[in-house]
Amino acid sequence: MSYRRTRAILIKELHHIVRDARSLTMALAVPVMMLVLFGFALSLDVDRIPTLVYDQDGTPVSRELIRQFQGSHYFEMLGFVDHYDAIERGIDRNQILMGLVIPRDYSKNLRTGRTAAVQILLDGSDSNTAGIALGYVDSVIQTYSLALRTDAQNRKGGGAGLPPVDARMRVWYNSSLESKNYVVPGLMAVILMIIAALLTSLTIAREREMGTMEQVLSTPLRPAEMVLGKMLAYFVVGLTDAAVTVLVGILVFQVPFRGSFLMLGLSTCLFLCGALFWGIFVSAAAQTQLQAYQMGLLSSFLPAFLLSGFVYAIETMPTVVQVITHVVPARYFVTILKGVFLKGVGIEVLWSELGFLALYATIVFLAATRKLNQKMA
C-alpha cells in the first residue's frame, strides 16, 4: 500500500466534498436537526396524564382520595363528570387517557372495614403508556391505603403500624429519571450510522456513473488505497458531526457526561471507520447511485434504530431477534455511549464492545477492498 496514492485519493475526495457545498452543508446540518427533533419529540416520560373523575360517592373521604391524585405530578385532573359517557367520549376523542370512578358505597365500606373498590378506566391503545399509568395509579392507591390503615389502628389504640416492607429506592446514573438522558446518547449512534453510511454509499457508484472509474482503473491505484483514501476524507466530516452532536447533547439537552472524552473519542473513531467502510462496500456493490442510496439507508437506519437498544430494550425482544442484534455495530456503540455519558465507566468495563467495533471495522474494510477489486478487475 502506497502512502502517496492513498493521500492523493484523500485530497481528491476532500476537494469534491468542499466543491459540493450543498451536500457538505446537509451533512453538517442534518445531524443537528435530527438530534434536536428526536431529542425534543421522542420522549418516553409518562406524566401529566389527562384524567376525568366520576365521583359517585361525593363525600369528604372520596374527595380526599381525589386530592391524592391531584397531589401527584403524574396526573392532571381535567374535571369532574356525572356519567360514564363523558369518560368514554373523552377516551374515544383522545382527550383523556384515564378515568377515575369512585362508587357510591366507597366511604361506607371504609367506615365498616370492608374493601372499598375504585374503578380505573384506561385507554389501552398504547399498551406501554397504559401500563406505566396503571403503575402510577397502583402506587397512589397503595400509599393512600397504608395511610388509612395506619389511621384506623391509631383510632383503635393499637399505635402506629409499620409497613411490612420499608423500600428505600436510590436511582443511579439517571436520578431524575428523564428519558432525554437515556435517548440522546443512543440517538448519537443512530445519527452517525446514518450519516456515515450515506456519505460514502455514493462514492464508487458516482465514479461509475460519471465515467471517471475508467480513469481510475488506468492508474496504479490499488483497491485498498482507494477504500482507505475515500474513508479518510469522509472521516473528517463524520468526526465533525460527532463533535457537534456531543456538544448539542451536553449543552442543549444538559445530558450529564461522567466519563472520559478519550474513551468517547476512541470508540467514536472505531464506529465511524466501520460505518464509513460499510458505505463504501455498499457503493461498490451497487450499480447506480439510487440503488446505493437505498441500500445504504436500509442497512444503516433500520438496524441502528430498531436493533441497537436505542429505544427498544433488547432483553424484551424475541430470542431470534436478540441473536441478530449481536451483529449490529450500533448496539455496541450505544452501550459505550450510555456507559461513558451516564455511568462514567471506561475501557476496563467496555473493552469487549470496543473490541467488536475494531473487529467489525477490519472485516468491513477487507470486504469493501475485495468487492472493489472485483469491480476493478
What distance in Å separates the CA atoms of residue 341 and residue 261, rounded to the nearest whole number?
Answer: 10
pLDDT score recorded for residue 54: 93
Residue 213 pLDDT > 90, yes or no? no
Least confident range from 41-50, 115-124, 208-217, 278-287: namely 208-217
CATH of domain 49-155: 3.40.1710.10
What distance in Å separates the CA atoms of residue 51 and residue 232, rounded to the nearest whole number?
Answer: 55
Quick one: DSSP state of residue 57?
S
Quick one: DSSP state of residue 62?
H
pLDDT score recorded for residue 161: 54
Phi, psi dihedrals of residue 6, rounded to the nearest 5°: -65, -40
Domain coordinates in residue numbering, the chain: 3-43+178-376, 49-155
Residue that has been written with the C-alpha cell 369528604 in this structure: 60
Residue 152 pLDDT > 80, yes or no? no
What distance in Å separates the CA atoms of residue 227 and residue 377, rounded to the nearest whole number?
Answer: 15
Q: How confident is the model at residue 359 (pLDDT cuts 50, 70, 90)?
A: very high
Averaged confidence pLDDT in the chain? 83
44, 178, 255 from 342: Cα distances, Å:
17, 12, 8
Residue 63 pLDDT > 80, yes or no? yes
36, 173, 240, 272 from 268: Cα distances, Å:
20, 22, 11, 6
Least confident range from 19-23, 174-178, 283-287: namely 174-178
What distance in Å separates the CA atoms of residue 165 and residue 354, rounded to the nearest whole number?
Answer: 42
To which H or E segment does residue 186 belong? helix 180-200
Cell of 258: 461522567
Residue that has been written with the C-alpha cell 473490541 in this structure: 355
pLDDT score recorded for residue 144: 82
Nearest to 72 by CA among 162, 122, 138: 138
In angstroms, what is the C-alpha Rg of the chain? 29
Least confident range from 29-43, 184-198, 229-243, 349-363: namely 29-43
- Cβ-proximal residues to 270 (8 Å cutoff; 6+ apart), any chain: 354, 357, 358, 361
Cell of 132: 406505566
Residue 162 pLDDT > 70, yes or no? no
What distance in Å separates the CA atoms of residue 21 and residue 237, rounded to the nearest whole number?
Answer: 13
Strands (E), 23-63: 49-55
- Higher pLDDT residue, 230 or 80? 80
Residue 355 pLDDT > 90, yes or no? yes
Q: Angle at the Cα of 109 (from 106 to 113), degrees rounded to 5? A: 140
**Residues 230-262: tens digit of each pLDDT:** 888 888 888 888 888 889 888 888 888 888 999
3-state DSSP assignment of residue 76 = strand
Q: How confident is the model at residue 216 (pLDDT cuts 50, 70, 90)?
A: low
What are the counts of helices (DSSP H) followed by strands (DSSP E) for the chain? 15, 4
Q: How confident is the model at residue 221 (pLDDT cuts 50, 70, 90)?
A: confident
